[in-house]
């Protein structure tokens, strides 16, 4: 039986709808109000609040297909089954069914719907460690369904444990399903899933989310037991069709064919095949990132930097194939054609996608010429100095990266041609420092929600602290900040709360903020350890990753010393609340499920 990606998705959704799951649309690739990851890496991401106990408007059983980006897999791209961008099917139990149903349905879907012979399937279960016990329960269920002991493998946390996606959040043991892609002769001698040289390919993962990992690294039992599953669309389609890699799938072949029109290479070498794969994957991922309605563009920090890196890597591999002209947007055109029926945002944003690709390609080629100049200057200088071994220092390689966008492997290749090597250890250190800096910048941005530091924005920023506390006084401590966005004209404040606020509650919160402004409270900044801040009860953002040393802003009455608000925050803030003027809530509305949004101004 041959089954395409579209059919697989349809079958999956229908199967779980039959088991009373509600379908939800794919969320954005760029997570909403969640600074723990740069991109949505799995279907569970947009569901984190619900896995933590908030009730989902669509009920306790959810099914979807989610767009994912995994930057951790960038280095694996070029192999047969790892992509940077892929689609993930998933079904969830939000405090509803658990292991028995999840495993039974997985088994049924694989063997009855997809008609995979049971002999081709192997599964793995969690072997247990100091934090959690061996998952004998899952193994027993598999066995009862007909998977024999010799194809049930127990593996440690590195394999059979999922999450959290960021530093903190829901996680738990998992059971993974594998499809054997070799012959039955080979299967007899196979070392088994998770071992080097195996021909078992992981296609599906059922995660049993029982724990929440805290910032202190503790595993707390969750209020509810959840199931979170993920099945890769491209990978599963490829193995079902008996393909050796995802790149043999029809849609990938169309992209590769277009690349060959540019490279004019009919019979690529192994090295050239890898270049083709990297270009295919990276431009596909870039197209989906640029096609997201959030309109992210290539830059030198955070998400924009990931986009720049994969795009430049694709361009460089284009050069390796001897492509002279700009080609990225032409490849993207095919990709938009293929995926637009299912992802209309690609069609909606196609001009933006193509323009940004063109711009980045032109930009990279410009700096590339300058960079090559700089590179040659470095080499000449070293040769004239005739010092010992011919080494390009890590600093020099890093400069080439930072100023001219040279990826390390490119510098290494260019160096090798001149008989030089690169001090990669030193480079990595510089690179980490750079990442750390931009990470800190990211934390600052998320924590403050500040787009700029003008006087008005600073005032709004202090107003968010007053509002946050006021909401907790009026509604209760569950009303927690989930995000904020500030411009010099207005503020937006998102917080967790189930119901629409009554006009009375809105008035109370507004009045309380204005009362605190009138009282002329002092805003004090202190530096302290994260631990100390938490001990003092400073409020902090859900899921936020903070550095060890933080700033804490306290708003208090200078006469009575009574504190009104205390928050971990990067600032900046006004010195006294009397500077704020009059606070007015203009709107209270739903932001997303379980999250309300307030728009307010200072008059
Ligand atoms: P692997 O060990 O092969 O990298 P994983 O353990 O990282 O997989 P999960 O996090 O469990 O995978 O994701 C669930 C499913 O998503 C996998 O079973 C697989 O089908 C798919 N998947 C994961 N990573 C990728 C990827 N980089 N490209 C394509 N599909 C993927
Ligand atoms: Mg992986």
CATH number at residue 587: 3.30.980.10
Model pLDDT for residues 277-287, shown as the tens digit of each residue: 999 999 999 99
Q: Confidence class of residue 7 from pLDDT cuts 50, 70 and 90? A: very high
Model pLDDT for residues 139-168, shown as the tens digit of each residue: 999 999 999 999 999 999 989 998 786 778
Distance from Cα 210 to the centre of ligand 1, integer Å: 21
Residue nearest to atom 19 of ligand 1 (CA): 232
Indicate the helix (H) or strand (E) that contains 9: helix 5-18
Residue 376 lies in a domain: yes
Residue 157 lies in a domain: yes
pLDDT score of 403 more than 90: no
**Cβ atoms of 234 and 208 closer than 8 Å:** no
Instruction: Please name which of 528, 595, 602, 596 lies closest in space to residue 567, comparing C-alpha atoms.
Output: 528
Please give the mean pLDDT across all residues of the chain: 90
Same domain, 235 and 291: no
Same domain, 230 and 254: no
More confident residue, 42 or 443: 42
Same domain, 117 and 262: no
Q: Confidence class of residue 408 from pLDDT cuts 50, 70 and 90? A: confident
What backbone torsions phi and psi does residue 213 show, to the nearest 5 degrees? -85, 125
Q: Find the DSSP H helices in 292-389.
A: 302-320, 328-339, 344-348, 350-385
More confident residue, 457 or 85: 85
Residue 368 lies in a domain: yes
Residue nearest to atom 16 of ligand 1 (CA): 232
Same domain, 305 and 224: no
Same domain, 378 and 403: yes
Same domain, 433 and 539: no
**Cβ atoms of 174 and 161 closer than 8 Å:** yes
**Cβ atoms of 287 and 252 closer than 8 Å:** no
With vertex at residue 198, the alpha carbon angle to CA 99 and CA 150, rounded to the nearest 5 degrees, is: 50
Pocket of ligand 1 (CB under 6 A): 42, 70, 73, 82-83, 86, 88, 202-205, 230-232, 234-235
Q: Which own/partner contact pairs does 587-591 have at CB distance under 8 Å and 24+ positions apart? A: 588/500, 588/501, 588/506, 590/500, 591/482, 591/494
Helix 270-291 to helix 350-385 angle, to the nearest 10 degrees?
Answer: 130
Same domain, 379 and 274: yes
Instruction: Please name which of 61, 53, 96, 139 lies closest in space to residue 498, comparing C-alpha atoms.
Output: 53
Instruction: Please name which of 500, 483, 502, 501 lies closest in space to residue 491, comparing C-alpha atoms.
Output: 483
Residue 467 lies in a domain: yes
User: Which residues 6+ apart lie within 8 Å of 140 measured at CB?
Assistant: none
pLDDT score of 451 more than 60: no
Q: Confidence class of residue 500 from pLDDT cuts 50, 70 and 90? A: very high
Mean of the pLDDT values across residues 396-424? 87
Same domain, 238 and 265: no
* Rounded distance between C-alpha atoms, residue 429 and residue 408, angstroms: 13
Give strand pairing partners of 555.
523, 565
Number of domains in the chain: 3
Give strand pairing partners of 173.
161
Residue whose structure tokens are 């596909």:
284
User: Which residues 6+ apart lie within 8 Å of 95 measured at CB?
Assistant: 53, 60, 223, 224, 225, 226
pLDDT score of 501 more than 60: yes
Q: Probe ligand 1: pick from 86, 195, 209, max atoms within 8 Å of CB?
A: 86
Please tell me the predicted confidence (pLDDT) of residue 210. 86
Residue 449 lies in a domain: no
Please tell me the predicted confidence (pLDDT) of residue 132. 82
Please tell me the predicted confidence (pLDDT) of residue 450. 35
Model pLDDT for residues 553-589, shown as the tens digit of each residue: 999 999 999 999 999 887 778 999 999 999 999 999 9
pTM: 0.72
Give strand pairing partners of 576.
522
Mean of the pLDDT values across residues 7-25? 97
Mean of the pLDDT values across residues 171-200? 94
Tell which of 443, 469, 499 closes a domain. Answer: 443
The ligand minimizing its distance to the Cα of 83 is 1
Same domain, 425 and 477: no
User: Which residues 6+ apart lie within 8 Å of 556 measured at CB?
Assistant: 521, 522, 524, 562, 563, 564
Residue 296 is encoded by which pair of tokens?
Answer: 């992210």
Tell which of 388, 415, 443 closes a domain. Answer: 443
pLDDT score of 442 more than 60: no
pLDDT score of 350 more than 50: yes
Residue nearest to atom 26 of ligand 1 (CA): 82
Q: What CATH number corresponds to the domain at position 191?
A: 3.30.930.10
The ligand minimizing its distance to the Cα of 201 is 1
Q: Probe ligand 1: pick from 202, 206, 251, max atoms within 8 Å of CB?
A: 202
User: DSSP string covering 478-542, please?
Assistant: T--EEEEEE-SS-EEEEEE-SSPPPHHHHHHHHHHHHHHHHTT-EEEEEEEEHHHHHHTT-B--T
**Cβ atoms of 199 and 147 closer than 8 Å:** no
**Cβ atoms of 155 and 124 closer than 8 Å:** yes
| Residue ranges making up the domain that contains 326 | 249-443
pLDDT score of 511 more than 60: yes
Integer distance in angstroms from the first to the last C-alpha of the chain? 67
**Cβ atoms of 555 and 516 closer than 8 Å:** yes
Distance from Cα 153 to the centre of ligand 1, integer Å: 18
**Cβ atoms of 236 and 142 closer than 8 Å:** no
The ligand minimizing its distance to the Cα of 235 is 1
Q: Confidence class of residue 191 from pLDDT cuts 50, 70 and 90? A: very high
* Rounded distance between C-alpha atoms, residue 383 and residue 453, angstroms: 48
| The pairing of beta strand 391-392 with beta strand 421-422 | parallel
Residue nearest to atom 7 of ligand 1 (CA): 73
Residue 42 lies in a domain: yes
Distance from Cα 73 to the centre of ligand 2, integer Å: 7
Tell which of 214, 232, 247 closes a domain. Answer: 247
Residue 448 lies in a domain: no
Same domain, 231 and 340: no
| Percentage of the chain exceeding pLDDT 90 | 64
pLDDT score of 62 more than 90: yes
**Cβ atoms of 361 and 332 closer than 8 Å:** no
Residue nearest to atom 30 of ligand 1 (CA): 232
* Rounded distance between C-alpha atoms, residue 246 and residue 238, angstroms: 5
What number of residues does the chain have?
603
* Rounded distance between C-alpha atoms, residue 363 and residue 506, angstroms: 50
* Rounded distance between C-alpha atoms, residue 170 and residue 50, angstroms: 10
pLDDT score of 445 more than 50: no
Distance from Cα 418 to the centre of ligand 2, integer Å: 36
Residue 450 lies in a domain: no
Positions of E strands within 181-248: 200-213, 219-232
Residue whose structure tokens are 């027993």:
140
Same domain, 103 and 211: yes
Q: What is the 3-state secondary structure (H, E, C) of 67-110?
A: EEECHHHHHHECECCCCCEEEEEEEEEECCCCHHHHHHHHHHHH
Rounded to whole angstroms, what are the CA distances from 123 to 242, 289, 354, 389?
Answer: 20, 33, 43, 51
Indicate the helix (H) or strand (E) that contains 271: helix 270-291
Model pLDDT for residues 228-277, shown as the tens digit of each residue: 999 999 999 999 999 999 999 999 999 999 999 999 999 999 999 999 99
Same domain, 202 and 266: no
Least confident of 62-66, 195-199, 484-488: 484-488
Q: Confidence class of residue 370 from pLDDT cuts 50, 70 and 90? A: confident
Q: How many CB atoms lie within 10 A of CB 540?
A: 19
Please, is 452 exposed, middle or buried when counting C-beta atoms within 10 Å of its C-beta (0-12, 13-18, 19+)?
Answer: exposed
């Amino acid at each position: 039986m041959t089954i395409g990606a579209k059919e697989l998705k349809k079958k999956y959704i229908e199967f779980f709808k039959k088991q009373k799951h509600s379908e939800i649309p794919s969320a954005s690739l760029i997570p909403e109000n969640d600074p723990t990851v740069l991109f949505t890496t799995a279907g569970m991401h947009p569901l984190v609040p619900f896995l933590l106990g908030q009730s989902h408007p669509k009920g306790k059983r959810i099914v979807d297909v989610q767009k994912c980006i995994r930057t951790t897999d960038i280095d694996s791209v070029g192999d047969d089954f790892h992509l940077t961008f892929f689609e993930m099917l998933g079904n969830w139990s939000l405090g509803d069914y658990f292991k028995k149903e999840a495993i039974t349905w997985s088994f049924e879907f694989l063997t009855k719907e997809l008609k995979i012979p049971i002999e081709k399937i192997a599964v793995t279960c969690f072997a247990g460690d100091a934090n959690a016990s061996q998952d004998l329960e899952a193994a027993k269920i598999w066995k009862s369904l007909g998977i024999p002991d010799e194809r049930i493998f127990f593996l440690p946390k590195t394999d059979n444990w999922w999450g959290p996606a960021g530093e903190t959040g829901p996680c738990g043991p998992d059971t993974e399903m594998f499809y054997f892609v070799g012959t039955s002769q080979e299967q007899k001698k196979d070392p088994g899933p998770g071992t080097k040289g195996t021909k078992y390919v992981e296609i599906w993962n059922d995660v049993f989310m029982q724990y929440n990992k805290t910032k202190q690294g503790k595993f707390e039992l969750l209020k509810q037991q959840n199931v979170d599953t993920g099945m890769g669309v491209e990978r599963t389609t490829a193995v079902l069709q008996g393909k050796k890699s995802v790149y043999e799938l029809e849609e990938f072949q169309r992209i590769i064919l277009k690349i060959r029109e540019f490279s004019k290479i009919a019979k690529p070498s192994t090295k050239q095949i890898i270049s083709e794969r990297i270009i295919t994957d990276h431009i596909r991922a870039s197209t989906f990132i640029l096609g997201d309605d959030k309109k992210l563009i290539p830059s030198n920090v955070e998400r924009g930097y990931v986009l720049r890196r994969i795009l430049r890597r694709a361009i460089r591999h284009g050069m390796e194939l001897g492509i002279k002209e700009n080609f990225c947007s032409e490849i993207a055109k095919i990709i938009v054609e293929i995926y637009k029926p299912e992802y209309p945002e690609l069609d909606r944003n196609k001009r933006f996608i193509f323009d940004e690709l063109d711009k980045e390609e032109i930009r990279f080629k410009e700096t590339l010429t300058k960079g090559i100049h700089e590179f040659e200057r470095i080499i000449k200088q070293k040769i004239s100095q005739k010092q010992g071994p011919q080494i390009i220092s890590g600093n020099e390689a890093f400069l080439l990266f930072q100023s001219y966008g040279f990826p390390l492997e490119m510098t290494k290749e260019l160096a090798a041609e001149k008989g030089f090597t690169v001090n990669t250890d030193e480079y990595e250190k510089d690179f980490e420092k750079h990442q750390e800096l931009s990470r800190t910048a990211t934390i600052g941005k998320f924590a403050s929600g500040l787009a700029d530091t003008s006087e008005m924005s600073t005032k709004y920023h202090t107003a968010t602290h007053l509002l946050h506390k006021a909401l907790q006084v009026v509604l209760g401590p569950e009303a927690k900040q989930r995000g904020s966005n500030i411009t010099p004209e207005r503020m937006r404040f998102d917080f967790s709360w189930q119901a629409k606020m009554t006009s009375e509650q809105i008035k109370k919160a507004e009045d309380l903020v204005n009362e605190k402004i009138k009282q002329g409270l002092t805003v004090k900044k202190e530096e302290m350890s994260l631990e100390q801040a938490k001990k003092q009860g400073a409020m902090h953002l859900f899921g936020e990753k903070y550095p060890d040393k933080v700033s804490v802003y306290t708003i208090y009455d200078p006469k009575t010393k009574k504190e009104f608000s205390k928050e971990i925050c990067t600032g900046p803030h006004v010195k006294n609340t009397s500077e704020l003027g009059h606070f007015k809530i203009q709107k209270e509305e739903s932001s997303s499920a379980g999250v309300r949004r307030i728009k307010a101004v200072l008059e």
